Structure 1
């Protein structure tokens, strides 16, 4: 087992988890309103108080199992203070709000820079601004006046508690992602400041394999580190095939990855990311949603010696592809809902396939997915069950809500 010497160290999905990044749901959830849920990528409105209790219990379950828990909002504030870049952060945040009025931009900037506590300022940028909070006499632009029924000057960021997506960790680096929607792409700004300025994670200490300025989209829920040799990436509603090819060239140059598998899972809301239908739970075991198996296409991307890549569509069964890539005699695909069409559809919608592995064969799951949990236990896995009745309303499970920073090698 190699010693962990870098701030980011992630060479598998299942190595014992040592350090993880979360975001505790905040007042941004109280800025969700029924008429504008689609704009903010939500299907329902969680009850904040219970969502926070569930999230705190999730964090505590991780701590009880030897995992150090860090919080995105705290790291961002520490980075801003360490770099002395509070005004720069506010300016860049304002530039991505969509606000056109110079008078309103000035009022927002004055409000944020007037907050003495950088941590509270960061939380406010996540929460958003209602129109009732700031009034500017005159100086409004036509676009500010046009959406007269829209209640916000600046949209909230309710998806932030899914820390898996804005950036993804692998080897000693990250992909700082370009996300599909404007409402989520703003989230990556916090990662930018952390990896530019934080005393532990900034100033070149973390390799960067992708950047938020790229023109093609990729999201962390589609990026799975199956082993030190194999990365799986979903071609999905949120991740573009061009991004995968671009990423592959960089990873082959800068890491020891030998295969990058591109999984075509389709542009479907219920299969939003690869990790909502497929996760690794042990050396030779995976959860999978049976509905994707029928038409699943997988491309194997491998390096050429000249810096280019080979791309070949695989023609074998998924079990054989995975077993061969991982050096296993065979692998077991554990089907969400035990393969029953009704149970699998219900439990996949409630993230039965979105497990967080914290050690080989030890996984964190939502307690509500009783059918899937039963078959996971029958397969010999140890389950750490947490409540997620409110958290799941954002369509994400334990893996979605966590970004590993350090895992032991296996």
Structure 2
């Protein structure tokens, strides 16, 4: 019987996936708040929801069971009863800056008065100060914080379910994320894994939990085979975290024998490895040419375990050769975003032209707006399923970012 989490490749037929349908959180903020919340624009929610439904329907039409984060959280909390609901909320408030005090108690009373569903939706959407009949008199802060409209910030990045946790083999990493705007998100996954009847007590391995030091996010974690993982050294994932997860995978005899650490530019357009590089077939990958130096060079470190149990790290710069060696391939096809045209590649990269979701070997889901890259993929023999993308793309994440595979068939 397959465990509720089982992922040993990027391309095995996708059986079960977790999504988050965009809600009030994606437009419950002002332009001034966008840098704080890591957004470049404010999506138009009705269209974003239609586009996300189109994405989910495309997956279902191809035999994928779609689970929703928000529903799983509610079911986990209800399974644990009132004590779990209260302790979960206490942790959420603590991580939102209210470990104790009057505001903590006011928010606690307000949120616990709701049904579980309404409470979870409200936590995700954010709690405005004008929702409560309460004006803090002893708030010692800068004037701008006193005028800030929220007690609890919205979480507009939640529809990118890839990042707070990442499925690896018969387990997952539950991630310590980089920026405060996203750090609370992984608490939802911890609650699901520990308390939801589908996942709790099922022998799942948590290779690394959200309390470990060093930042890491799921968009940087790619399961290339049942023995090889690639992780981006990026704006969102540190070398320290990569070495830590490699050590844990080796120590716990996970079956994974190599971790490839690939350094990418640290900027908002290339925030994760999967925004510039994804595996889409046994021997085919998308790649944004902007990450490669002259001759296709990029800093890559192969991490293995030596005979004494210590980590061995080997540095190389030929990405294609590293992948061929790690995966036992005679050759492979690196397909450039935008066909390699510098203007088109940068434009479509901004809208996640490289962020493809493979749902079977050679079958990928992409944004329809990246029509040049999509045509190039077809010319390389791929089956391309396009989904609507005018509003979803404003969040700077594509189909892979918006999905957390839970179960894939083994190759």
2:279 alignment partner in structure 1 = 280
| Contact 1:367/1:388 (8 A) holds in 2 | yes
State yes or no: 1:18 paired with 2:15: yes
Q: Name the counterpart of 1:193.
A: 191
Moved more, 325-334 or 155-164: 325-334
TM-score by length of 2: 0.96
Structure-1 separation of matches of 2:278 and 2:136: 53
2:110 counterpart residue number: 111
> Match of 2:406?
405
- Per the alignment, residue 28 of structure 1 pairs with 25
User: Is 2:332 the counterpart of 1:312?
Assistant: no
Q: Report the more deviating stretch, 4-13 or 163-172.
A: 4-13
What secondary structure is seen at the aligned counterpart in 2 of 1:202?
coil
CA shift in 2, pair 1:269/1:138, >3 Å: closer
Secondary structure in structure 2 of the residue aligned to 1:201? coil
Q: Deviations over 1:179-229 (max 9, x none)?
A: 001110100110111111111112363210011111210000000000001
Spell out structure 1 runs of 4+ moving beyond 4 A: none
Contact 1:16 1:407 in 2 (8 A): yes
Count of residue pairs the alignment pairs up: 405
Aligned-partner Cα distance in 2 for 1:100–1:230: 41
Aligned pair in 2 of structure 1 residues 148, 319: CA closer, same or farther (>3 Å)? same
Deviations 1:19-40 (A, max 9, x none): 0000000010121210110000
| Residue pair 1:216, 1:242 contacting (<8 A) in 2 also | yes
Match of 1:66 in 2: 63
Deviations 1:77-127 (A, max 9, x none): 1111112211011101110112477222211111111012x1221111101
CA distance in 2, matches of 1:169, 1:109: 32
Shift of 1:327: 1.5
Aligned to 2:395: 394
Q: Give the direction of change, closer, same or farther, for the CA distance of 1:308–1:32 in structure 2 (3 Å limit).
A: same
- From 229, 242, 264, give the equivalent of 1:244: 242
- Match status 1:267 vs 2:269: no
2: CA distance between counterparts of 1:300 and 1:281?
A: 21
Give me the whole-angstrom Cα distance separating, in 1, the residues matched to 2:21 and 2:350: 22
C-alpha separation in 2, matches of 1:148 and 1:63: 46
Deviation at 1:139, TM superposition (A): 4.3
Q: Cα deviation per residue 1:205-257 (whole Å; 9 max; x = unaligned)?
A: 32100111112100000000000011000000000100000100111122111
Cα 1:127–1:140 shift into 2, 3 Å: farther
Q: Which residue of 2 aligns with 1:302?
A: 304
TM-aligned CA distance change 1:137 to 1:366, over 3 Å: closer
Q: Contact between 1:177 and 1:212, CA under 8 Å: does it hold in 2?
A: yes
Q: Describe the SS at the equivalent of 2:146.
A: coil
Q: 2: CA distance between counterparts of 1:260 and 1:131?
A: 46
Distance 2:124 2:200 in 1: 21
The aligned residue for residue 2 of structure 2 is: 5
The alpha-carbon deviation at position 264 of structure 1 amounts to: 0.7
* Corresponding residue number in structure 2 for 1:337: 338
8 Å CA contact retained: 1:160, 1:187: yes
CA contact 2:93–2:99 (8 Å) conserved in 1: no
Secondary structure at 2:300's aligned position in 1? strand
**RMSD of aligned C-alpha atoms?**
1.4
Q: 1:318 to 1:30 in 2, by over 3 A?
A: same
1:256 is matched with: 255
Sort the Cα spacing of 1:108 and 1:144 in 2 relative to 1 into closer, same or farther, 3 A.
farther
Runs of 5+ unmatched residues, structure 2: none
Shift of 1:289: 0.2
Distance 1:145 1:214 in 2: 34
